[in-house]
Every structure is written in structure tokens, then in C-alpha cells.
Structure 1
Amino acid sequence: MNGKYFLTALSLILSVGGSLTACSGDRNAQDWFAPNPELQGNSPALDPSPSSSPSPASTPRELPLPTSKEIKDNKLPPNFPKAIPIYTRAKLLESQYRVGEIKGETRWQTEADRDTVAAFYRQEFEGNNWEFNASESNNTLLVASQDNLNLKLSIPPASESDSGTIFLLEYASNLSTAKGQATQSKSEDSQNEKKPENSLDLKQVSPQVRGYIEDFAALELLPKNFDPNKTITRREYARWLFEVHNTLYRDRATKQIRPVTSASQPAFTDIKAGDRDFAMIQGLAEAGIIPSRLSQNTEALLFQPDAPLTREILILWKVPLDLRKALPSTSIDAVQKTWGFQDSEQIQPKALKAVFVDFENGENANILRAFGYTTLFQPKKAVTGAEAAAALWYFGYQGDGISAKEILALESSQEEKQ
């Protein structure tokens, strides 16, 4: 074996095993991820044959984003459990696994920082009933388990910089037999049969907004269990607003909203630090996008996560990310003269400013994309998933912006070059 690659692989295994000693919680956690000499590589980085190409560890951080097909078909170990969520904005560098058991480790690289990675996995685990066995300590971000599956997320030493982060996902099953692996594979096949990729029924969706949903589906940015005709909640919209915005501006870090994993003063009394969406909702509030007591709005003490999203709130939260500066003062008369809404007086004052600015955005106005031409705004009317998708499809003001379609074209171009 080439000496350089041997030392790289050996260093990786030793750093993974060593980082676990700082974990607290389940006393058997160290045994789950103990290094094993039978681990077999499943990556070009571990190919023993000579090669003049650089190893994954030396690959520049400006990495092309992998498609879901590349992740599933080319690099993930064959025993990688389906229950483990994949951070799709990361590139898989290398992997090792043990034959005959559900046990292995994967190494990833992303342009996001460690807090963003940790927030993503904490949200996924909390939303899917995983149990946390250890808190953050040294290089270990979290250790969690579900049924017979154990997982550790960690950051190797010196693996975080201004341009991104390298993180490890190590997994091990208590059912460490070939029978357990066969059962897992059967379960995965069953899940694949029940839920085909991008299975959407858009027959009942207006053709004017159908394309927006299809673009999000291609980018894998549709929320779980997305129903285009179902009312969307305030929680669902805030989460989607955060994720779509940061994805569209993924190459412009200065425009992204930062997640906030902990805060001395939560923005809302009904969204605590342990809430699965706290990092994103708090981040939006601290950025001043969602009105809260942090922005001296004494009427916004409650977030009301399960309340239906209304039209005026959709515009109130979205337009600040289009304009990117303070909303100007306006009046009911000004909105009536521009939009011609018969019910302008029913719009709350804060939302009135956003509605006025939205008109100045011309054909890129959120109201036009989401609701079409109308003389009745109906500010308190609930918003559907399809309408929310139409609004989030584009961010920008007066021609300076980005759409989901442009990002989709960019990804297609990158795939063709590979």
C-alpha cells in the first residue's frame, strides 16, 4: 500500500477512536465505535493502486455539490443504514465498513461551519425520535441512538477553517451479525418501494405554480411529507425560508443567515433552545427577519409555530430578504393606489410596508408569483404549500437576485463537467 495513503487512513482511524473518550452518557458508547482491523475501504482515497491524482483530503474546498445519485451509487458503504440522515450540502470524501456487520465510518467535507452541521443533525434526530447519549465535548458534537443503531458525529482535530468543515459519521449496530445486516437491507428495500424519489402528485396544483414545485423537487428542497394543497404552518415556513434562502446563496456566505444553537434570550417564549427548529427560528429573529422582542416588538412574544401561515406574514418575513435594507414607511392609500387592493385597510401596519415594497419588485413580486392577479389581498387567509413554494422560488429585488431554476441549471452544468 502507498505509504501516504496508509498513514492518512491510519491517522483517521486513530483520531476517530481518540475523540470518543471525551463523550459522556452511555457507558458503552466507546465500544460502539472501537477501531476494527477488518474495516474495508470503499473510496478511491483508499485505493492501493498507484495514482497521480490527489487524495480526497487534499482536494480544494471549492467542491462541486454531489447529487443524491452520486452519494447513493458511488461511495456510501453497502451497509450504511437508511435511517441516518445525510447532509446533502456535504461531499463524501471516503468511507470504511466492516463486512458482515452494520458498522463503519464516513468522512465528509462541507463549506458550512460546525454549528450548521450540528444544528442539521440535531434537528433531524429530534424530529425522528433519536435518543441523545452524550453532549458536545471536545471534537465530538453528539452521540445518538435509535432502536439498535448508534451514531457519532465528530469533527477531527484541525478539520475546521474559514472555508469549511470536515466531519465524521460513525455508525454501529447492536445487531452485529450478517442476519442483522440482511434485515436492515430488507427494511431499506421496503422503504424504497413505499417512497419513490420525488413522487409528487401535481394534478390538483395550478399550472402557474407547478414549475416552482418541480424545481424544488429536483433540488431536493421540498419539506418532508410536502402537500402542495395543504395549509403550511408558521414553523414549516420559517424552516423552509431559512433552508431555501441559504441554499440559493450557498456561494455567497455574506448573504446567508446564521443558525443560532444557543441564546441568552430566546426570541420567543414558546420556542425554547431544545426545540428542533430553534436554531433556524432564532437565527431569523436575531437577523431581524422575523419580528420579535429582540427587535423591540413587544407584540411578538409568541411565535405560534403550529398556527397557519397567513398571506401577510408570508410577505412580512420574505420581503426583507429580497430588499436587504430597512422597509420604508408607507400608507394604506399608497398600497391601494399601487396594488389596487380593496381590503388594504385589513393589512397589519408592519406587513403593509412589505406589501408596498413587493409591488416595487415588478414581475418578481412575491404576491404575483404566489397568488396571481387579484384585487383582494385577503391578508388573514391561510397559505398553501404551493403558494409558499412560489414565493420562495426567487430571492432578490429589481433584477438583482437568484432563483431555484438558476441553481438547478448550475448543478446540471457541474454534473456535465464531471
Structure 2
Amino acid sequence: MLPLKQSVLWSSLTILALLPLGSCANTPWAAQLEQALSADPRLQASTVEASPEPTASPAGVELPTNFPAEIPRYPNAELVAVGGASSSEDVVVGANQSTETRWQTSDNAAQVRQFYQEKFQAEGWQLAADTAESSDQPIAATRDGLKVQIATVASGGSASTSDNSSGNTEFTIEYQFGEATVGSVPSPSEAETTADGELPQPGDPDFIGPVLPGEVASEPSASPAPSNGSFSDLSQAPAELQPYITDLAKLGAFSKNGTSSEFKPNAEISRREYARWLVTANNLIYANQPARKIRLAAATDQPAFQDMPASDPDFAVIQGLANAGVIPSPLTGDTSNTTFRPDAPLTREDMILWKVPVDTRQALPNAAIDTVQQAWGFQDSAKIDPKAMRAVLADHQNGDLSNIRRAFGYTTLFQPKKTVSRAEAAAVLWQFGTQGSHLSAKDALQANQPAAQPSTESATQSAQ
């Protein structure tokens, strides 16, 4: 046997000797030689399959811009699809429109269901009666005009409490606004105009606000009430609250709402309208104290809420409250409040949360459930939102000037999620300030009365 080096040498020389012969064109021997020296085609195929060209990954699914921050988000769940209404910023969500989002988690369906049942109950949502009766039914909950339905989805796409075949659980969150919420408002050409083709202006019968406080005070026609402040349905309001409505109407604190002389004292008030009343009443009562007025926002301000664009008629008011830090928003570091829901009904806890900071003009105190329960004696203190709880405690420290006492009288139940009537909202806004430094609508009316003219006799005596 030849040594290894000699074997390699002889093989190389043999190949070199055969190459010139293989160069003869189209000879059978050359074809056989070429085939023998060519690469294995199976090796080429396996190499191509093992190294595929990279392909572009599908675009990520984005959460709709109108997704309410109030809806609890399941931990470690991934958004996989969005259906129903469009997810664009120009979406218009009405009472008959809903948006469905589809999520996936490695937890089982029972864990998902338990999470949402506990979250909804703890955060004051109203659950449908059949939710607790059957685990096969979707979880249906409502809060402040917002309707939500949670349903787990099987691999075939039908609602089910079982997991899908991949080992993950898919579930849907479908939400629907009870009141029309506009993400984009019509352009001036699409908006309602007056008979002469012009947009309604302050003082016109069709104008719906907002109205600058100065314009309200200077133009009596901007108030729906007669000049004496009496409404045709004032007697329907609780007797204790009627004077508050009358004083605010005389002051011009209520925004124009057509030519109706009805106040509808027992009807719900929307978050939008209460915000408008809050700014207008405060600025009228403190008309002679500019430092205590709430500044309206400029149209160029960056909107704090996704559903309150600069084109909204109440943008200046609501954005002004956000700019001042009166209402929770991303500007105050509260990233969970990205929507304002202007047409949803106002709740008791939100009414107090917005009003008390304007009274105290200082940071709200820390509050715990036991502290609030001991101060007020409320049996449902645990149901109050932690942010609102601080305002409720500060309101108690205001003694007889408390907004809660003025609007609701004596009570051992605060009912924080209960909606507020227009008469109750008027009672709260009738007075601003704290003990030792406060003003009411009645005080503002007396300050605006012209000084009495001296009699002829008094004038003659003064001249002498």
C-alpha cells in the first residue's frame, strides 16, 4: 500500500491528465466525466431548502384608537385581530355600532372569565344577570353608558368556554358606547347652519356652545331661562335645590340649549355639559378675580383626549380643564384616561372629583377606605374609585359647605357610580371655595346689582 501522500499525488496527476481529454466536445466519454465530477443535485436541493430567503413578517395589529381605557386588559394577552368598526382615528362610534377586538393568552378560559368577573365587580360595572348563572354565556357588563362583552372563542370561531387546539385561549372584547361619541366632527360645510347659510353664533337660537363666560354675562339671550331665572318645570326639582337652579340661571351659568324654557331637573347630565357648566359658573362667580378663573384652551393645543379633537365644540372647555389639571388625563400622568367620553352620563364620584380641586385650590389629601368610612359613615366607601376617594375626603373637611351635603343632603350611601341629575349638578356648582373663602351664585348676583341712586332729598343735603 502506498503512503497517503503518494496516493494523493497520483490521484491529482490522474485528474490533470484526463482534463485535456475531457475537453473534446460532445464525446460520450466527456459527458460521463462531467457527470462524475458534478455536484450531487440532491445536495443542491437540500441546501436551497435549508436556507430559504427571509420573508417579510405581517404588520402588527394595533389597538383601535377609541378603545376605552376603563376596560380591564388581561395580563400577558396579545391582540391578534380587530373587527367591527374601523380602527382609524376618524372612527365615529354611535349607539348602534360596536367594535370587536380579539386576544390570545396561554391561560385557560376559566382564568380569563374569573379575571373579568372579579375586575368588573371591583370597579363598579353592572354585570348581566345571566353572567353568573352560566359559564357558557359571555360576560356582559355596563358602566357609564359603555357596554362590554367578553367571550372566549374556540378554534372554529364560535363562542365557547374551551381552549383552542393550539393550547392557547382566544377571547373577544366587544365594546359599544351607549351615547354617540364622535371621533371626528363634520366640517363647517356639513354642519347645521342658520337660515342665511352662516354657522350659529353665540346668542343665536341654534347655538349650543361653548360660550365664553364674558359673552354669557353680556348677552342675556345666551341663557335658556327667562331673565328672572324661573323655568316652567322648576317645580319638578327637589324643593331644596330650586334656589340653586334659579340663582345660576339668573347669573347665566347654563349654556344655551335652543329656546326651551324647560330645565329638566331630574334628567341625567352628560360629562360634556357638566364640564361646560363647571367652567362657566366658576368664571362668572369669580368674574372680578381673574386669578381664580379657568382659562379656556386654544385651538392649537394638543388634545389631551383621543375623542376630544380641537374641532369639537366643547374642546376649549374640556381641554382647559385638562390643562389646569382639574380632570384626570395623560397631562396629569394618568395614562389610563386617554378618552373623555363626553356624551356619557356623569357619575357622582366624577362630579366630586372635578369640583373639589376647584374649591380647595390645593393638592387633595391621601385617603383610605377606612378614613372615608369613618369621616362620612358611608356604607359603600369601598366602591369609590381611589382617585375620587381623595376628593370625597377633602369635601368632608369643608364642613357645611360640602358639595355632597348640598346636593344629596344626609345620606349613609354615596353610590359613587350613580348618575347625577341636572338639579344635583346645579346644587354643586352654586358655590365655590372653602370655609373662610367662598363665593356663591347669590353673592355674584348681589355684586352685579347696580348701586342704588340717592334720593333727591339726600342729594340736596349732600350739596348743602
Tell me which interval the TM-score lies in, with the shorter structure as reference length: 0.5 to 0.7
Is 1:394 the equivalent of 2:442? no
Q: Deviations over 1:26-83 (max 9, x none)?
A: xxxxxxxxxxxxxxxxxxxxxxxxxxxxxxxxxxxxxxxxxxxxxxxxxxxxxxxxxx
| Aligned counterpart, 1:146 | 194
Partner of 1:211: 243
Displacement, 1:145? Answer: 7.0
Q: Deviations over 1:174-194 (max 9, x none)?
A: xxxxxxxxxxxxxxxxx9xx9
Q: 1:261 aligns with which of 283, 288, 298?
A: 298
Q: Which residue does the alignment assign to 2:382?
A: 345
Q: CA deviation at 1:294?
A: 0.8
Distance between the aligned counterparts of 1:231 and 1:255, measured in 2? 28
Residue aligned with 2:321, SS: helix
Return the match for 1:277 from 274, 293, 314.
Answer: 314
- Report the Cα distance in structure 1 between the residues aligned to 2:402 and 2:317, rounded to whole angstroms: 25
- Provide closer, same or farther for how the CA distance between residues 286 and 196 of structure 1 changes in structure 2, counting only shifts above 3 A: closer
Change (3 A) 1:151 1:314: closer
How many angstroms apart in 2 are the aligned matches of 1:302 and 1:150?
31
Match of 2:331 among 287, 294, 297: 294
Contact residue 188 and residue 199 of structure 2 kept, 8 A: no
Give 1:297 deviation, angstroms: 0.3
* Contact 2:269/2:345 (8 A) holds in 1: yes
1:232 aligns with 2:264: no
Q: Are 2:351 and 1:307 equivalent residues in the alignment?
A: no
Residue 217 of structure 1, CA deviation: 1.7
Q: Which has the larger radius of gyration?
A: 2
Map 1:181-196; keep pairs closer than 5 Å. Answer: none
- State the 1:410 CA deviation: 1.3
Equivalent-residue separation in structure 2 for 1:355 and 1:221 (angstroms) = 25
C-alpha distance in structure 2 between counterparts of 1:195 and 1:348, whole Å? 36
In the alignment, residue 367 of structure 1 is paired with which amino acid?
I
Cα shift at 1:411: 1.6
Name the CA distance, whole Å, in 2 between partners of 1:196 and 1:376.
36
Q: Is the 8 A contact 1:131 1:146 kept in 2?
A: no
**For the Cα contact (< 8 Å) 2:251–2:284, is it kept in 1?**
no
Are 1:333 and 2:381 counterparts?
A: no
Please tell me whether the aligned partners of residues 235 and 242 of structure 2 are also in contact (alpha carbons under 8 angstroms): no
Report SS of the residue matched to 2:414: coil
Deviations 1:379-399 (A, max 9, x none): 000000000000000000122
How many angstroms apart in 2 are the aligned matches of 1:396 and 1:280?
A: 20
Contact 2:357 2:363 (C-alpha < 8 Å) held by counterparts: yes
Q: Deviations over 1:286-316 (max 9, x none)?
A: 1000110111101110100011000000000
Aligned mate of 2:417, from 370, 377, 380: 380
The structural deviation recorded for 1:152 is 12
Q: Contact 1:216–1:222 at 8 Å: present in 2 too?
A: yes
Q: Give unpaired runs (5+ residues) of structure 2.
A: 1-184, 202-213, 216-220, 258-262, 455-464
| CA shift digits 1:306-353 (9 cap, x unpaired) | 110000000000000011011111111110011000000000000000
> Which residue of the partner structure matches residue 392 of structure 2?
355
Q: TM-score w.r.t. structure 1 length?
A: 0.54
Shift in CA distance, 152/204, structure 1 to aligned 2, threshold 3 Å: closer
Q: Compute the displacement of 1:195 (Å).
A: 8.4
